[in-house]
Amino acid sequence: MDESGDLGFGASSSPIFVISAVVFADSKTPTKLVKQFRARKLSAIGTTELKWTKSSEDVREEVVRRVGMEDVDIGYAAILWKNRVSDRLKNSKTPLYNYLCYQVIRWLANRRRGHVCDVVLDRSKYGFAETDINQYVESDGYKMVVTEWGGQLVLVPSHLNVKLQHKDSGEDAGLQIADFVAGAVYHYWKNGKNDKYMRHFKRRVCGEYLFPRA
């Protein structure tokens, strides 16, 4: 899982915020994709880590095109209307971040029923306490949502068979792939549903949560 945009609500903040996840059948596939891509595009990339923000349009498009060719599940949550988020949520970024992560994880985990899902998050984002989000997702996130928000946020009970890990994006190929997917989703919504990048993997998207609701 990775993000694009920021979770701020000030004048200089990004207009939207996206959390996205890419589910591979095994951990070898994203590693293979990144190694193969870097072997062909090393001079164009010029860095030890694939990153959306540091890549050219051609590199961005080729990466997401390759992702769309794989048998993957993609889910994302996006805050599209920051001006409609309540003041209470604007001042509670950690619970809001946890809630959006939970929405994405529960979709993808429920599609893999019978299997433990190893979820990897980028530990560099926002500095949120790892134990906080781990307890939130791995225990009963539904009850925590009800307790914290008293009905302001809607969630259906669901037990998730997941295990969370926190890594630096430079050491995990899956995070680098998720970074490109998040960037493509961000580009899609920020530019009026411009699917220059997202068209390559749109058919792989199985979960979409646009926030806030009506």
The yes-or-no verdict on residue 158 having pLDDT over 70 is no
- The 8 Å CB, 24+ separation contacts for 43-51 are 48/170, 49/169, 49/170, 49/176, 50/176, 50/177, 50/179, 50/180, 51/169, 51/176, 51/179
pLDDT, position 86:
86
**What pLDDT is recorded for position 143?**
57
pLDDT tens for 15-61 read 999 999 999 988 899 988 888 887 776 555 555 678 899 888 988 99
Residue written as token pair 């980028």: 122
Per-residue confidence (pLDDT) for residue 22, from 0 to 100: 95
Cβ atoms within 10 A of the Cβ of 212, count?
Answer: 14
Q: What is the pLDDT of residue 193?
A: 96
Question: 24-33, 96-105, 154-163, 179-188: lowest mean pLDDT where?
Answer: 154-163
**More reliable by pLDDT, 108 or 204:** 204
Query: Which whole number is the average pLDDT over 66-76?
Result: 94
Of the listed ranges 83-97, 141-155, 157-171, the one predicted with least confidence:
141-155
| Domains assigned to the chain | 2-211 (3.30.420)
What is the pTM for the complete model shown? 0.86
Instruction: For the chain, give the mean pLDDT.
Output: 82
Strand-pairing partners, residue 18, are 4, 78
- 8 A C-beta contact, residue 80 and residue 210: yes
Q: Which amino acid is at 105?
A: I
Q: Is the pLDDT of residue 3 over 60?
A: yes
Percentage of the chain lying above the pLDDT 70 cut? 79
pLDDT tier at 147, thresholds 50, 70, 90? low
Q: What is the pLDDT of residues 113-135, one digit of tens each?
A: 667 788 888 876 554 556 677 77
pLDDT top residue among 8 and 153: 8
Long-range contacts of 84-92 (CB under 8 A, 24+ apart): 84/212, 85/9, 85/211, 85/212, 86/152, 86/212, 88/152, 89/152, 90/9, 92/148
CB neighbourhood size of 146 (10 A): 16
Banded model confidence at residue 137, pLDDT cuts 50, 70, 90: confident
Q: Which residues contact 153 (CB under 8 A, 6 or more apart)?
A: 99, 145
